[in-house]
Structure 1
Amino acid sequence: MPVRKVRPGPRLVTAALCATLALVGYMKVSPEDSAPAAAPGPRPAAAKNAGPAAAPGSPGSAAFGAGAPPGVGPVTRTRIPDGTSQALVVTGGSHETNVATAVLYERDDAGRWHRAAGPWSAHNALRGWATEHWADDLRTPIGVFRLGDAGGRLPDPGALLPYDQSEEFASPGTGFLGEPLEGSFDYVVAIDYNRTPGTTPLDKERPLGQERGGGVWIHVDHGGPTQACVSLPADAMRRLLRTLNPAREPVIVMGPAAEIAR
């Protein structure tokens, strides 16, 4: 097992987007506001794009063939790095849905993908998904993004990724449905959307500009939609942290099933 290190890195009182809401609670949304926003525009050139999931069978059982995990189409497949052998596939029903399913797949030496963990229930952003994500659009970016940095309010549960424990991951307040956010950031994995890889998830640098959003994480589910993050049950987060291996170049493939099946 590689030696883990905690990087000091710059910090926010709490990270942007998902984490910013922890101090004040999610904004109140009227029925009109909660309606789906306009259809997402063209994909941003700077961000990799998406892929799906589903998958029967028990973890580590059936192989799904070479090439890509189940549901990931040929276009999306080209965006998965050649060296990647772990992929968390998060699939939503449509561009407007905020509930999803997450499955962790691993590729063996023969190039065949196997289900390693899941499926897990998941939430994404209130208004669903976006091929072009902007700050405060209440959508989760569609794409294929690297996973390389982790952290949380609680001690390292045995993560293979670098892990930054900090009280700055505290998450008071309430979510869009009035649910408490406490504990949401006990464990997080940073999604490499508009961030500098190799830094704490609390890092506020935004290479694409603040207007393109940031602070998009995988974190503990609080029972409702997020602002832009993906959330999983606490036991799934612990399992994920103990499984994601930087040597395997893990990625998240996320978006509506039809989009990532392209």
Structure 2
Amino acid sequence: MPVLEPVPRPGPRASRRPPYTVCAALLLLLLTGCAAAGTAPGPGGTAPGPAAVRTGAHAPTGNAGAHAPTGAAGPGAAAARGPAAPTAPREIRMLGQMVRSAIPAESRQALVVTGNSPDSSEATAVLYTRDDPAVGWEPAAGPWPAHNALYGWTDEHRVNDLRTPIGVYGLTAAGGLFEAPGTELPYVQSPAFTASGEGFDGESLEGSFDYVIAIDYNRVPGASPLDPTRPLGEERGGGIWLHVDHGGPTQGCISLPEDRMEELLRILDPAKLPVIVMGDGAALAR
């Protein structure tokens, strides 16, 4: 009869643990797996490898541009940005906000006369049009050389001060010694526009009023340029016109070469409420 050896009883609970070396191996395996993944598991429970993270090969659907190279727009980028912002209407560049706001909203023609300096009698004129309010102001004619008053410009014109008034004024009537050159403005032809004598530089004034356009400073808009009415009073001066240049400073008017006056008369349209914007550069930038 075989001898039965006693079966050893299990020891304390501690004896059920795996040997220390086994635990260490398992822990090392787990740590090695996390380091290799480099990221949390994706939606399917599988962690993408490092190459997939760098290239975006496993980017979630709908976000294909998330890892696109710098400067490249992924699909749907334009839709994400939305429609482009509307472009603001063009303004007349040299005019400041205060002067711009003085131009009537309904005006679609503006002759801008910019003096060289506050005390200069030389200037430059450019005609702007605003046929499409959404587009804004665009140059239509010029630049043209011009003259203004002997002593330059003023914010408060007085009779015989030999300065041209700064501001924005309507252009509502015309006239001259010559017949109208096809203008739409109300036009008065009269021998009263005969000019004579000499200017400040000794130049002849003959022909200066062959064509004139009244500037609506201290006058009744739409009346003949010869109308003597002065709503602000006689001491504030008047008779400020655009007229033919005689080669030197004026007493207060703006003068342009004769061919430019003819061109301007043909272009100006009373239906577009034309205005003149005039002053030295610093005054117009206000």
Deviation per residue, 1:166-222 (Å, 9 max, x gap): 010000111001100000000000000000112110000000001000000000000
Q: Show structure 1 runs of 4+ deviating over 4 A.
A: none
The answer to whether the Cα contact below 8 Å between 1:150 and 1:188 also exists between their aligned partners in 2 is yes
In structure 2, the residue matched to 1:191 is 215
The answer to whether the Cα contact below 8 Å between 1:67 and 1:77 also exists between their aligned partners in 2 is no
Could you tell me how far apart the structure 1 residues matched to 2:135 and 2:215 are?
A: 25
Structure 1 residue 87, shift from structure 2 partner = 0.2
In structure 1, the residue matched to 2:9 is none
Could you tell me how far apart the structure 2 residues matched to 1:188 and 1:143 are?
A: 19
Could you tell me how far apart the structure 1 residues matched to 2:266 and 2:176 are?
A: 14
Structure 1 residue 111, shift from structure 2 partner = 3.7
The Cα RMSD (Å) is: 1.2
- 150, 157, 162: which one pairs with 1:133? 157
Matched, 1:103 2:122: no
In structure 1, the residue matched to 2:233 is 209
The answer to whether the Cα contact below 8 Å between 2:90 and 2:138 also exists between their aligned partners in 1 is no
- 93, 105, 108: which one pairs with 1:82? 105
In structure 2, the residue matched to 1:233 is 257
Could you tell me how far apart the structure 2 residues matched to 1:231 and 1:162 are?
A: 20
The alignment covers a number of residue pairs equal to 199
Range moving further from structure 2, 220-229 or 68-77: 68-77
- 111, 114, 125: which one pairs with 1:91? 114
Per residue, is there more strand in 1 or in 2?
1
Identity, % of aligned positions: 61
Per residue, is there more helix in 1 or in 2?
2
In structure 2, the residue matched to 1:39 is none
Could you tell me how far apart the structure 1 residues matched to 2:258 and 2:184 are?
A: 17
Report the residue type matching 2:197 in the other structure: G
- What secondary structure does 2:264 align onto? helix
Deviation per residue, 1:228-261 (Å, 9 max, x gap): 0000000100000000100100000000111111
Structure 1 residue 121, shift from structure 2 partner = 0.2
Structure 1 residue 67, shift from structure 2 partner = 5.2
Structure 1, unaligned stretches of length 5 or more?
1-64
- What secondary structure does 2:219 align onto? coil
- 166, 169, 172: which one pairs with 1:142? 166
Give the structure with higher Rg (CA): 2
In structure 1, the residue matched to 2:176 is 152
In structure 2, the residue matched to 1:261 is 285
Deviation per residue, 1:65-119 (Å, 9 max, x gap): 6253221111101100010010000001211000000000001312421111110
Could you tell me how far apart the structure 2 residues matched to 1:68 and 1:192 are?
A: 23
Report the residue type matching 1:195 in the other structure: R
- 242, 245, 248: which one pairs with 1:221? 245
Could you tell me how far apart the structure 2 residues matched to 1:230 and 1:254 are?
A: 9
Give the structure, 1 or 2, with the largest relative contact order (CA under 8 Å, sep 6 or more): 1
In structure 1, the residue matched to 2:66 is none
Could you tell me how far apart the structure 1 residues matched to 2:173 and 2:93 are?
A: 26
